[in-house]
Structures are given as C-alpha cells and as structure tokens.
Chain A
Amino acid sequence: MSDWEPKIVSFFCNWCTYGAADLAGVSRFQHPPNTRVIRVPCSGRVSPKFILAAFMNGADGVWVSGCHPGDCHYIEGNFYARRRFTLLKNQLEYMGLEPGRLHFSWISSAEASKYIEVITEVIDAVKALGPNTRFVKPQAKVA
C-alpha cells in the first residue's frame, strides 16, 4: 500500500482553471501528478452524473474548478453550478461519501500559484483518506 498513489479526476473550466494549470506548467511550477484533467466549457457544464461516473469508475477523488463568481465567460454559469454543487456535495456526504473526496474551487487563469496550492491540498486530502471504496463499482478484470 505504501506506493499507492491516488487517482483524481479534475473537471476544469476552459476559460480559467484550465488556463491556470497551463500557466503553472509554462511557469515550471512543481506539483504532484495525480490528477486526470477533463476540460469542460464551464463549471456549469458539470453534471452530477459526471462526478458519480468518475467515482464509479474508480476515481479516489474528484475536483471541480471554475471561474470566480462574477467572472464566468457565460456570465452566470458558475452561479447555477454553485447551487447545484452545494446540494450535490451535501447529499453525497449525507449518503456516506467521506468529506475530502470531493473538492470545488474557483481559480482564475492568472492564479497559477493558487492552482498549485489547491492541487496540493486536494491530493493531500485524498491521500490521507486512502483508496476510495464508496460509490466505486468493481470493474470486470481484463486478462
């Protein structure tokens, strides 16, 4: 178990956090390599189904990141998303998901340093919890 590394699925808004991740890379900031990034047009595009599907297929953590409230490329997408995520996070944790598996953040495309901060925080939180066993569906083993 000592060499276990978490798999984290990240949904990044094309207009901000994805840019921040890019900027962090271009700036040669070091950060742990545990996330699989999925680019979405807006945090408002992220459906609860995506998050459940990530967990079902074996993600140890999920991280959704978009633009700061008020800065949405589509004016108000992240405001709707915020309401949805509030209910979603509460409900998943109400059903037994450990707090610390599911993360949300607002990171603008200029905030490469915040990106590094949050990614480290997310990975540390998921690492501390160990491999995810909840909402994971055992996959058929391929020989």
Chain B
Amino acid sequence: MREIAGRLLSECSVEMVIGFRQGTMPMMNEPCFVTREEDVSSLIWDSNCGINLANYLTNRKEKIAVFAKGCDSRNIVNHIVENKIGRDQLHIVGVPCTGMIDKRRIAGLVEGEILEVSETDTTVKVKTAAAESLFDKAEVLQQNCALCVHRNPVIHDEMVADPVEEQTDIDRYADIRKIEEMDAADKWQFFEDLLSPCIRCYACRNACPLCYCPTCFVDESKPQWVGKGQDPIDVRTFHFLRAYHCAGRCTDCGACQRACPVGIDMRLLTRKLEKDCQEQFGWEAGLSLEQRPALDVYQPNDPGAFIK
C-alpha cells in the first residue's frame, strides 16, 4: 500500500493520499492524510481501520487517492452520486476486507489495560500487563462486519490484493425482526433503554460520511425541531431523525456505533430503514453510479397500502 501511495504521489497523479496510521492507543488507528512521498511510511493497514474514509472526501477540490474497504467504496459511490466529489478527482485504491475488530468487545473480554494488540489472518492476540490472550478473529468482529455482504470494493481504480470471498447465507436482520414482533409498548421501552445513555455528543453524526449538511437539523433554532438537552423525547427525536436522514443511503459501515462513547447500537435504527428500502423498493445503497437513491426516484406502483 505504501508503494502504491508513494508511486501516486511521486508521479504527481494525486495531491493527497488518505489512509490510516497507528493511533496513540491500541485498536485506535486514525485517519492519515499524506501529501509528501517521504511520509508514506506512516501508512498502515490492519483490522482496526473501521473509520469510514469517505467522510473526509466531502467537498474536496483536489485530486485524492483514498484507500477503500467495501463499505468505504459504497460511501464513495454515495458521495459521487450526491455530487460531493467528482469521480475524476478520485483514485480509489480498493482494499478487500475481512472485517474490523470490535474494540469494545475485546476490552470486555480481557481484564486490565490493553497494552498491545496484534493479529494474524484468523486470530487476534491481546496483551495486557497481566496476561496474553488469543481470540478467533471471527468472534471479535464488529457486528456490521460479521453481517457484511459487500467486503470487496464496488468501485476502484486499482486493488491492493485479490478479492476476498463474499459472505453468503447471512441473515442481516434477525435482531430487527425480533424488535418488529414486539408490541408498541415493548418497542417504546426497548428504545427508551437503548437510548437512555446518550449524552448528545453527536459523535455518531460526525463520524458518519452521510452527514454533511451545512446546518444540521440539531443546530437549527428557528424553528427548533429538536431540543438540545437530555430530555428523553429530544434524545429519541434526534436519533430518529439522524437515522431517517440516512434512509436509502446508509451502507452499514458501523462508523456511528464505533464512534459512540457510550456504546449505543444506533444501527438498530439505520438497519431497519435499510431493510425497509430493500423490501419495499428493492434498493441497496451505494452499489452503482448510475442509479439515483431510493428517495430520489419513484415507481408508479410503489407500495402504498397504508394510505387510505
């Protein structure tokens, strides 16, 4: 990958390469913007690169090379379709992905501070001051990666490796269906409990590559659609609208959940919308540059049985 980045920069075919570098803590790789060939050595790639790099492309003017996993590439497609960046401005370096590690699950599995995390193709080794433990990588994946059916980039100019095998026979919505089957009071209570830890830090919004409105609805004051405090109804309304804004666009990259400091699984909301888009309109986000998003088109025979 460093070779590719170095070549692109030295040929001056791009002005910047977006990738990852080692973070200050284990399992916390951070995005990295390389503009000089001599800096490419800071680029790394492992199973802690969960942040969605498409987030850093919004409204950029220069020519950029970006490393893209399956989900990143789908968000790049979204960005191009929504005119947030031109296809000709991008050199997409596809990275086949076998999933990212859930840092919270690892932290919950071991005791004490984690000093070092290393990995092989199928295992993850976690070192704390007291002990060293070995996990099967498949068991410590983020849930969205375990359920992923688009591991290979859908759009790329070159690939760093051969495509990996896509997962099939995945039931993406088992947990969503379980909630759908509850009665209204139980659903209300379920989401009350789910969202109660929220501190309204908006990390989920900031990490999300879809959230680029110049003025977010939470910051609007005339009229104010949603209060800024910890009132449970405001919290719920925020999460509802945030998810709804991602309807037909969300690629389930997991950036929101990963960024959440209190570990709320807000993907339960976005995945419901994803499921509905698929069932009602046969739409899956970010797969093609030619198709308009689900809410930007219609069919005369769209479902509408709920309308009197």
Instruction: Find B276's partner among A56, A76, A82, A91 (CB 8 Å cutoff).
Output: A91
A residues 111-140 near B (Cβ < 8 Å) are 118, 121, 134-137
- Distance to closest chain A CB from B219 (angstroms): 13
Tell me the chain B residues, 286-308 only, with Cβ under 8 Å from chain A.
Answer: 294-296, 298, 300, 302-304, 306-308
Q: What is the minimal beta-carbon distance from B193 to any residue of chain A, in angstroms?
A: 11
Contact, CB under 8 Å: B300 / A135:
no
**B243 beta carbon closer than 8 Å to chain A:** yes
Kindly specify which of A5-13, A23-31, A98-106 makes contact with the partner chain. Answer: A98-106
A70 to B293, CA, bound (A): 21
Given A83-B281, A121-B308, A137-B233, also A94-B272 (CB < 8 A) = yes
Most buried by B among A49, A85, A91, A96: A96
For B223, the closest partner residue in chain A by CB is A53
Kindly report which residue of chain A lies nearest to residue B189, judged by CB atoms: A96
Q: Is B277 an interface residue (CB 8 A)?
A: yes
Verify A87–B307 contact, CB threshold 8 A: no
The main secondary structure of chain B at its interface with chain A is: helix
- The stretch from B20-28, B67-75, B178-186, B204-212 touching chain A is B178-186
Alpha-carbon gap, A85 to B186, bound state (A):
23
Across the two chains, which residue of chain B brings its CB closest to A65? B308
In contact, A52 and B190 (Cβ under 8 angstroms):
no
A118/B300 in contact, CB under 8 A: no
Contact A91 B308 (CB under 8 A): no
In the complex, the answer to whether A91 meets B240 with C-beta atoms within 8 Å is yes
CA distance A55 to B273 in the complex (A): 21
Sorting the interface of chain B by its residue count into under 10, 10 to 19, 20 to 34 or 35 or more gives: 35 or more
**Which residues 46-95 in A have Cβ within 8 Å of B in the complex?**
48-49, 52-53, 56, 69-70, 76, 79-80, 82-95
Nearest chain-B residue to A96 (Cβ)?
B188
Tell whether, in the assembled complex, residue B243 and residue A98 are in contact, meaning their CB atoms are under 8 Å apart: no
Bound CA–CA A135/B192 (angstroms): 11
User: Mask for B231-242, Cβ within 8 A of A = 1, else 0?
Assistant: 101101100110
B198 at the interface (CB under 8 A from A): no
Q: How far is the CB of A105 from chain B (nearest CB, A)?
A: 4
* Residues in chain B near residue A99, CB distance under 8 A: 184
B294 CB contacts on chain A under 8 angstroms: 83
Contact A69 B300 (CB under 8 A): yes
Asked if residues A89 and B277 are in contact (CB atoms below 8 Å), the reply is no
Is B237 a contact of A105 with CB atoms below 8 Å? no
Contact bitstring B248-260, A, C-beta under 8 A = 1, else 0 = 1000000000000
Q: Is A40 interfacial (CB 8 A cutoff)? A: no
Q: How far is the CB of B170 from chain A (nearest CB, A)?
A: 21
A136 touches B304 (CB 8 A): no
A contact residues around B191 at 8 Å (CB): 95-96
**Contacts A84-B295, A87-B244, A137-B227 known; A94 to B307 CB distance under 8 Å?**
no
Q: Can you name 8 A-B residue pairings with CB atoms under 8 Å?
A: A76-B298, A79-B300, A82-B302, A82-B304, A85-B306, A94-B179, A99-B184, A135-B237
The residues of B with any CB-CB pair to A shorter than 8 Å are 179-180, 184-191, 217, 223, 225-227, 231, 233-234, 236-237, 240-241, 243-244, 247-248, 269, 272-273, 276-277, 280-281, 294-296, 298, 300, 302-304, 306-308
- 17 further interface pairs, Cβ-Cβ under 8 Å (given A94-B272, A95-B187): A48-B241, A52-B241, A53-B225, A79-B300, A80-B295, A82-B307, A83-B281, A83-B298, A86-B303, A91-B240, A91-B272, A94-B179, A95-B191, A96-B190, A103-B308, A135-B233, A137-B233
